[in-house]
Amino acid sequence: MNTRQGIGMTSQRTRDRLIDRLREKGIANEAILEVMRSTPRHLFVDEALASRAYEDTALPIGNGQTISQPYIVARMTEVLLGSHPPRRVLEVGTGCGYQTAILAQLVEEVFTVERVAPLQQRARNLLYELGLNNVRYQHSDGNWGWKKHAPYDGIIVTAAPESVPEELLQQLADGGRLVIPTGGQGQAQRLRLITRQGDEFSETRLEAVSFVPLVQGDLS
Cα–Cα distance measured from residue 185 to residue 180, given in angstroms and rounded to the nearest whole number = 15
Active-site annotation holds for 68? yes
Task: By CB under 6 A, name the one of 119, 126, 135, 155 that touches ligand SAH.
Answer: 119
Residue 103 Cα distances to 78, 81, 130, 173, 215, angstroms: 10, 9, 13, 18, 23
SS3 181: strand
Nearer to ligand SAH, 19 or 102 (CB): 102
Contact by Cβ (8 Å): 190, 205: yes
Cα–Cα distance measured from residue 142 to residue 25, given in angstroms and rounded to the nearest whole number = 30
Q: Does residue number 86 form part of the binding site for ligand SAH (CB under 6 A)?
A: no
Q: Does residue number 165 form part of the binding site for ligand SAH (CB under 6 A)?
A: no
Q: Among 68, 140, 202, 210, which one carries the catalytic annotation?
A: 68
Task: By CB under 6 A, name the one of 86, 142, 154, 183 that touches ligand SAH.
Answer: 142
For ligand SAH, which stretch binds (CB under 6 A), given 8-16, 87-95, 126-134, 179-187? 87-95
Strand stretches in 86-171, DSSP E: 88-92, 109-114, 135-139, 152-157
* CB of 198 vs ligand SAH, minimal distance in Å: 28
**Residues within the interface to ligand SAH (CB under 6 A):** 65-68, 73, 92-93, 95-96, 98-99, 113-116, 119, 141-143, 158-159, 212, 214-215
